[in-house]
Amino acid sequence: MTKIRSILGYLWAMLATPIVILSLATSDNLGRLLVKSTGIKIAPFFTGGEIACTIDHGTYKTHIHESVTFGIIKNMGESSIQVYFEPAAALPEIIREELDLPDVSSGKFFIILDTRTGNVEYENKPDTVTDFKASKFKNGWAVRIKIEVRNQKTEAR
């Protein structure tokens, strides 16, 4: 009798294990709840960081994220700011957005995003801005702007 019970127990474990794994893998809400309960967060380098301000243009919103620095232990001399364009209905073909970023000392500049091709151009680009990268998402466009952080001591010399 004990042998039959142990066989049934092992059989139950073998059948239950894939069912539990499949239910966890297919349930988005349960998976998100489990991850949220651990306190683990996705690094701001990948998400663009917290939203610093939102500008409502009527047909779309512009979300400007806080600056995210590169480097695990110390600042590596670069940071990035993500600008996300979220449509209310549809994005215009050309978006021209004025930016006054806190990490850029030389004032305001404009980024121009062509939503048909993904090309990014600029007007009055400061010399501390080194790169633009546009990415298309399911509901919007994001432009990541790389900024070279200059040391105040080196600039004074």
pLDDT tens-digit profile of 103-135? 565 667 888 899 888 888 888 777 667 777 888
For the chain, first and last CA: distance in Å? Answer: 88
Going from the first residue of the chain to its last (157 residues), give the mean pLDDT of each consecutive group of 10, the final group possibly shorter. Answer: 90 89 76 80 80 89 85 69 88 87 69 88 75 84 81 44
Q: Based on C-alpha coordinates, what's the Rg of the chain?
A: 24
Residue 70, C-beta contacts closer than 8 angstroms, at least 6 positions apart: 45, 76, 77, 78, 79, 80
